[in-house]
């Protein structure tokens, strides 16, 4: 059984992959919030205002979520040497015929 320790998490991966994932989640949440099942605040908006609110929501949701993840990753990278790392064990699996 081999054990691996995560000593550092790359920031570039967070900025590229996670921001894309959060943008997609923001689109889904925004569609439900502003178009499919509008909230009380979104009911009175015209179509243009809904589209603008939808786009602003996606941008702000993505920025806030990525900043939160960056803070967590930064804290992990700083503290992992003194408090310990995340470890996981891997063992080879025999192929079944």
What backbone phi and psi angles, to 5 degrees, belong to 21? -65, -45
Residue 47 maps to a domain:
yes
Per-residue model confidence as pLDDT tens digits over 50-62? 999 999 999 999 9
Residue 28 maps to a domain:
yes
How high is the pLDDT of residue 47? 93
Residue 16 maps to a domain:
yes
Beta-carbon contacts of 39 under 8 Å, excluding residues fewer than 6 positions away, are: 33
Single pTM value for the model? 0.80
Residue 94 maps to a domain:
no
Residue 63 maps to a domain:
yes
Range of the domain at 28: 2-87
CA atoms of 57 and 34, how far apart (whole Å): 10
How high is the pLDDT of residue 29? 96
Average pLDDT for 63-68: 96
Average pLDDT for 67-79: 92
Does pLDDT of 96 surpass 80? no
How high is the pLDDT of residue 59? 98
Per-residue model confidence as pLDDT tens digits over 6-38? 888 888 988 899 999 999 999 999 999 999 999
Report the 3 state secondary structure along 24-51. HHHHHHHHHHHHHCCCHHHHCCCHHHHH
- Domain count of the fold of the chain: 1
Residue 27 maps to a domain:
yes
């Amino acid at each position: 059984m081999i054990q691996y320790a995560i000593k550092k998490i790359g920031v570039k991966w967070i900025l590229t992959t996670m921001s894309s994932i959060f943008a997609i989640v923001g689109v889904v949440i925004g569609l439900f919030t502003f178009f499919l099942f509008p909230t009380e605040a979104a009911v009175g908006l015209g179509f243009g205002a809904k589209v603008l609110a939808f786009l602003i929501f996606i941008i702000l949701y993505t920025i806030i979520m990525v900043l939160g993840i960056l803070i967590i990753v930064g804290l992990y990278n700083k503290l992992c040497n003194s408090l310990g790392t995340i470890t996981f064990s891997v063992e080879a699996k025999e192929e079944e015929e």
